[in-house]
Structure 1
């Protein structure tokens, strides 16, 4: 009899627990007030000359529910006509209830969605409140017209005054891009007496950049309109600057400095984190320009340092390109991938070229 009673009691307890669990699973969340989103502009031409400048600001109101909940919030972006079947989401916050995108960040999102550089694209944006993969609440939909910019250009040295010689695919050294003006490039290093030009893509002779009167110009893709060479009268160190938008350049004598035995890149974005350096290489021709090729990097931070030690290290505040200072801040890397990374210990300039 006691055993029968225990079995009945256990069965009743099981039914009670199961019933409670079922009630919790079937809780209905009701949206009391809907989320809303607006933007400070509806037509936008993204500019590759100002990648880090704010391009657009989204403002939104947070929806309320009849139950106290803690969801996640996103600004969701898609191309018109896709019904957000393929979209890019930017995580955002409740306070402040605004989200901004730089020119480069917005451009990267649109290119990933399939937008064509240089063409005006119809874009839709909405605010998403998410509790789980299958429990999402959406705001009104914004309609924008956005023109993405053409991908960033790189410039490489070629010519008998350079280490690569007149070979268009011989580990040619890259120039360092300005972090604020992506059309401006710098190079400080050694040249032999002779001449050089600049290539936009390794392995291709055109377009190539050179002298045109007192300024510069580029050849056409078919090789026509080829410019003249930049001339180096005497072997030595020079500082070279070029602005391919303003069509200007300067070439002045410079100086060298102490040669470091080793320089490496280190940080949370590198393969071994902050534990050890990924060694870079420099040549006898240009012992101050360091390079590591096809390194796999994740989102995170990085610095450069000499002699596998923190006694001499460089850091900067801008991603992809910039000027690192001795003891400076960690360089942000906000896009994972394989990169060629350059660093010049004479002026602290660095460049990350995604493969």
Structure 2
């Protein structure tokens, strides 16, 4: 019996050794990828707006080899000279792609994201980043120097259709990127809405839309509905460089014993994107009103001189002498910096 057990044990050990050898033969050695070799068709570029549809430059690079059969993804990185790519503007070229052609408009929009000076020569550095996994060190090409004279980028727009306005991209308010640098902001009012879902669209149609990504605060093409927590007014920010978005409460309301909520609860005003003012039609009682920001007294406006309709921060209560239906308009975007209002009986 003992001899039989010994023989069984030896066979078991031999089997483990054989399996170990077979596993070693299948081991893949991962190494740092070879550096892509980058070439560009031109290095001194003057970009003109009336030529924006023309080809500007073509970038080509060689494949990077990481020592095993894996899909290599290539990303173009652009940075101001001397910044050591601390905050590059990146363009994902995709897996297995070894060329990128830029039109004048595409390159101009990309270069403007670096906060360059328009109509002047700007020294730009570009390189290619090759990756196969977040666990494997990336490989980079040598840096190529460009001199680019861009034109002033026109503002960029994204549109925000949602349940609050009937899911209509044709009439949706816009987020604006003043420098067309991929960062868009705008004020969106969900006041009175029961459906708080929305999307962010690059055009006034449903050909493409951005919704919720895999994690909170991220965007994905044709993702699920984005949403805000309550039917209030928010400043929405979308960053198409990082495919992220965020919101923060930005709400002006009316408060006072003349309002439906008294001195305890604001009646929200709705932001009119076209006019750039805050509005509401409200049933008021005889009494007093004030305007305040984000349901808090830290920033509020009253009127110390009712003859000119100019508000004063922390000013006196505004009297409403007769009950009725009133249109309220609050304007804090006047060119002279003043904050004005009107209370008009309907």
TM-score (norm 1): 0.40
TM-score (norm 2): 0.40
- Specify the structure having the higher radius of gyration (Cα): 2
